A and B are shown apart, each in its own frame.
Chain A
Amino acid sequence: MSVEMRSRQPPVALELDNLFKAYGDVRVVHGISLQIRQGEFISLLGPSGCGKSTTLRMIAGFERPNSGRILVEGKDVTEVPVHKRNLGMVFQNYGLFPHMTVDDNVAYGLKRRGVPAAERRDRVADALRMVRLPDMGKRYPKQLSGGQQQRVALARALVIRPSLLLLDEPLSSLDAKLRVEMREEIRELQRQANVTTVFVTHDQDEALSVSDRIVVMRAGYIEQMDSPEAVYSRPATCFVADFMGEANIVEGVPSIDGGQTHLVHKSGVRLPMAEMEAQSGASATIGIRPEAIRIGHLADDSQGIQAIVEDITYRGAFSMVRCRVSPSLELRAIRMNTSETVEPFAVGDTVRLAWPANAARAI
């Protein structure tokens, strides 16, 4: 990257510097370091217990790191108490004050900052218009639907013009359809407000669809930090490959013959794979996404490897087909359920599986 380009990058809005957190003997976060630029939308993604929520709560100031620093807009806030950090947060169960009207909920942060009443009214009205709830100000949270409550929570977090927007699994208490709508709405609001955002989720779908970058975490460590495309198609570890949707993970020994690299599975099956720099002879692991695998009838072509269909699971837009290549090797492939699909095969049929060598990368 040229110096010219680097200078055009937005400034760093949040920096975590080697953050550690333990509860007694239980270590939850092991030395997390990352930098987030102004306006970026970052997801902390991982299974429960991976330390993502604890990391977010340390950024917010609810938890104190055992060591390490947190810098917001260049200032060290590690020792700054929660209420002086100026961060907007949206909680899993909304966290709206049930005894206050929507207006009072949204105005709360402004009141605590001593914003005069007239300005407060205008900003509250603007914020509610922004989340498309302009006429709900006089209602109490209980009188709103889950989606509406979540939008009020967003308005309340954004109205204070926070340095960072922190989202703690904000969609997990909504039903599936609303969840997809809301994540798009959150992304849209985030772009409008150009607010740096840290989004905690355990749902890879959510993370893939809204993030500029995804931080995949496991057991307190960062496994991979990259763009959604990179995390999905070039997973750094088996865990990432497996966590980011389905993946066929195969171990074997790479061998190069005639310009084509193959992974030789212990059963002797040769799987085409992308070129890799490692010396042949050493073992390697590759990941192949099921959707990268083409599945066809035996007679159709001579390419690919032979397998027997063991199971077909209908999933609506596609079916997941589990194929047995050898007694010790199983591959899953996706068959799209379009109306043009005129090659039905059933459990027990012999099929051929093929994929571009580039789709099978070493992890």
Chain B
Amino acid sequence: MNAFVVNRRARWQYLLMLAPSVLLLAAFFLLPLADMFLRSFEHFVPFGNPPPGFTLENYAKFVGDSFYRLTLGRTLLLGATVAIISLIVGFPMAYAIVRVRPGLRAFLTVIILVPLMTSVIIRSYGWMILLGEGGPLASLLAVFGLPRPRLMYTFWGTVIALVQVMMPFMVLTLAAAIQQISPTLEDASRNLGAGRLRMFIDVILPLSLPGVAAGTVLVFALSISAFATPVLIGGASVKVVATVVYEQALTVINWPFASATSFLLMSVTLCLALIQAKLVAWGARWNQ
């Protein structure tokens, strides 16, 4: 049997192995998405069948209304803030996980993963207690004579809760990138005259950029589409695009507008993912 035939047979086997997940995704993700996409161009008629024909009025409504523009702006700001704080807090953790001895590494990884085993709703209720007016955080600050911060139903309260939700995604993505950096490079840098901080700037940071980009975009995308945490912690004062979609789809029953809003949010994420891919390829041009 020649190599070509073997190859072709192998390819068939791979396709067969992919089939279940492709079918599942097609049936329950791509088809509904396509349906939603078409729906976002429909006219909205309350409690009636939409008239035939395509319209851009749903998109125009979102872009044209300053309330929705403000909501989108707030959502993006929230996503960016959460992504940056997660990056700053998560980087040392990711670095530590990679460089500690194996036993401790397994333990730390579990610690990082444990929050994922609890529902976001339950965790948000936890945060509501922690951040509340009479909560432990407020009491602790009061002990030191500091003013009680208002965190429940605020932007920063939402940021804190979201950062906690996003931490595993950020840390694991960064750790995967830092894992690729040989400790020999750190030794080489220090041997050639770099202190630890200088070594970090010269070696660890540039070489972990692909992970930084991936983690930041991932956390940003997850944050701007987050629903439960902004609703429970932020409430009415931290309205995000996801809340708009929820209200439009389930309260107002305006599915065309809800669909258009969803697609606007999704296109932001897609653009970012594209920019990230380009940036990473450029940043790692030495690798080719």
Contact = CB atoms under 8 A, between A and B. Distances in A.
Interface string B170-190: 000000000000101101111
B192 interface: yes
B191 A97 contact: no
A98 B193 contact: no
A112 B191 contact: no
B192 A109 contact: yes
A89 B194 contact: no
Given A81-B195, A98-B287, A112-B193, A91 B203 contact: no
Counting chain A residues whose Cβ lies within 8 A of the other chain, the interface size class is: 20 to 34
Contact of A160 (B182, B184, B192, B202): B192
Interface residues of B, number: 22
B192 A62 contact: no
Given A109-B193, A160-B193, A98 B187 contact: no
A168 to B, nearest CB: 9
Contacts of A112: 192-194, 198
B193 A142 contact: no
Task: Say whether chain B's binding surface is mostly helix, strand, loop, or mixed.
Answer: helix
Contact of A89 (B191, B198, B199): B191
B136 interface: no
Given A140-B286, A142-B286, A142-B287, A97 B194 contact: no
A97 B203 contact: yes
Interface string A61-99: 110000000000000000001111111110111011111
Interface in B192-208: 192-195, 198-199, 202-203, 206-207
B265 to A, nearest CB: 35
Contacts of A156: 192
Given A99-B286, A142-B286, A93 B192 contact: no
A288 to B, nearest CB: 42
Given A95-B182, A97-B203, A99-B207, A87 B286 contact: no
B182 A93 contact: yes
B188 A95 contact: yes
B192 to A, nearest CB: 4
Nearest to B283: A99
B141 to A, nearest CB: 39
- Most chain B C-beta atoms within 10 Å of own C-beta, residue among A85, A86, A93, A99: A99
10 contacts: A81-B195, A92-B184, A97-B188, A97-B202, A99-B206, A109-B193, A112-B193, A142-B287, A142-B288, A156-B192
Given A82-B191, A97-B188, 6 more contacts: A62-B187, A83-B194, A86-B193, A95-B188, A109-B193, A112-B198
The 5 nearest A-B residue pairs measured at CB: A112-B193, A109-B192, A95-B188, A140-B286, A95-B184
Interface of A: 60-62, 81-89, 91-93, 95-101, 108-109, 112-113, 140-142, 156, 160
Interface of B: 182, 184-185, 187-195, 198-199, 202-203, 206-207, 284, 286-288
